[in-house]
Structure 1
Amino acid sequence: MKHFPGWYGYVDGQPVPLHEVYGALGGIVVGAGRHRVEMRYRPSSVYWGAGLTLTGSLAALAAGYLSFIRQTH
């Protein structure tokens, strides 16, 4: 949804669209009866950040390992 990037809605485990409510909130349309309603926040920036953190950590480990190898020879 363009107003709420990263937010996803689910009813009974099935994805459903989010709707803008009162100009500032996100809402889900649900029929009568008992349902399990979920709203999850999964922005793509979190996945990009995790990937970059992993890449940086691996690069730092490789640099440390290479430095250790050079000092021992």
Structure 2
Amino acid sequence: LPAASFRGLLRDFPVVRQGFGVHGVAVAALREGCEAHLLSLLEEWGLCALHAKRAAVQIADVSLVRCLRVKRA
């Protein structure tokens, strides 16, 4: 994720809009966590597609991963 885009996304949160600042280290930590979460989602979607003997991820894969993650939590 581009750093500038991520900072812009953070500015949309109400807490940041109220004048509270966010340290650069906090932004970097949030960005890293978001990237890790997105990568794990992409890996799981890819595994679902692979299991179905497909090369491309479909909406069904996204739905299945969402359902399985809710069951695990």
**Shared fold by TM > 0.5?**
no
TM-score by length of 2: 0.38
Q: Which has the higher helix share?
A: 2
Q: Which entry has the higher C-alpha Rg, 1 or 2?
A: 1
Q: Which has the higher strand share?
A: 1
